[in-house]
Chain A
Amino acid sequence: DTEVTQTPKHLVMGMTNKKSLKCEQHMGHRAMYWYKQKAKKPPELMFVYSYEKLSINESVPSRFSPECPNSSLLNLHLHALQPEDSALYLCASSQGLEALYGYTFGSGTRLTVV
């Protein structure tokens, strides 16, 4: 299995809702990443997990809360989001934090905040 699976593919949520994005991989990768991508812009790094521990937080607002319950699963919990948080959220994985190759991306969750 050489895939990163993200669910849901599309999500519409109100500003008072709580929702979660899910990312799963079964390649034995030990580093997992969340990126945020606005329209016509490159992906921007949000969080990095290494061996299920948070390694990098790129000064992301606390309304985004990541969680890595096991080596295959990465969640992004969303609460009290703003319309400007509407974007494509991409998950990726690699063999490890020091890997210089072999990054695999999921197909993304397209989030709309209303």
Chain B
Amino acid sequence: AQKITQTQPGMFVQEKEAVTLDCTYDTSDPSYGLFWYKQPSSGEMIFLIYQGSYDQQNATEGRYSLNFQKARKSANLVISASQLGDSAMYFCAMRASGTGRRALTFGSGTRLQVQP
């Protein structure tokens, strides 16, 4: 079975500060992909960053980086230099290989609010 856990329902961060959003996952499949999406109030699901289970280096995309700790089964999102436009809902998601669920499984989400 695949499971994604986000333990922070809400987070506050000051503008220009860095923030870490937590995500842990559980799968018995050796091959999997981990995703972070941003969902503003408009509803669209915006892809931020991807980490494959066999990737040797942590993924980075501009101000976004993924702190991937495979042994601990964690894939935390780090946003550097927060901006007011970063205020949104953030979802961690996973797609594992094998004969299990062949679609993305989402965590419960973290609502980030950036304060001026």
Seen from chain A, the residues whose Cβ lies within 8 Å of a Cβ on chain B are 33, 37, 40-43, 45, 48, 55-56, 88, 90, 92, 97-101, 103-108, 110
Please, what's the 1-or-0 string for B69-108, where 1 marks a CB less than 8 Å from any CB in chain A? 0000000000000000000000100011100011110111
A103 to B37, CA, bound (A): 11
A43→B45 contact, CB < 8 A: yes
Instruction: Assess whether B31 is in contact with A100, with CB atoms less than 8 Å apart.
Output: yes
A sample of 23 cross-chain residue pairs with beta-carbon separation below 8 angstroms, ordered by A number, consists of A33-B104, A37-B43, A40-B109, A41-B108, A42-B108, A43-B45, A45-B103, A48-B102, A48-B103, A56-B103, A90-B43, A98-B97, A98-B102, A100-B33, A100-B52, A100-B95, A100-B96, A101-B52, A103-B95, A103-B104, A107-B43, A108-B45, A110-B43
Residues of B within 8 A of A98 (CB): 97, 102
**Residue contact A100 to B43, C-beta cutoff 8 Å:** no
Contact call A107/B42, Cβ cutoff below 8 A = yes
DSSP class of B's interface residues: helix, strand, loop or mixed? loop
Contact of B32 with A by CB under 8 A: yes
Query: Of B33, B102, B104, which is in contact with the most chain A CB atoms at under 10 Å from its CB?
Result: B102
B-to-A contact residues, CB < 8 Å: 31-33, 35, 37, 42-45, 47, 50, 52, 91, 95-97, 101-104, 106-109
B95 neighbours in A (Cβ, 8 Å)? 99-101, 103
> For residue A42, which residue of chain B has the nearest CB?
B106
Which 6 A-B pairs rank lowest in CB-CB distance, beginning with the nearest?
Answer: A42-B106, A105-B45, A100-B33, A107-B44, A108-B43, A101-B33
Complex Cα distance, B109 from A40, in Å, reads 8
The minimal Cβ–Cβ distance linking B109 to chain A, given in whole angstroms, is: 6
What is the chain A residue whose CB lies nearest that of B107? A42
| B54, chain A: closest CB distance, angstroms | 10
Closest Cβ of chain A: how far from B113's Cβ, in Å? Answer: 14
- CB B93 to nearest CB in A, in angstroms, measures 8
Interface pair B43/A88, CB less than 8 Å apart:
yes
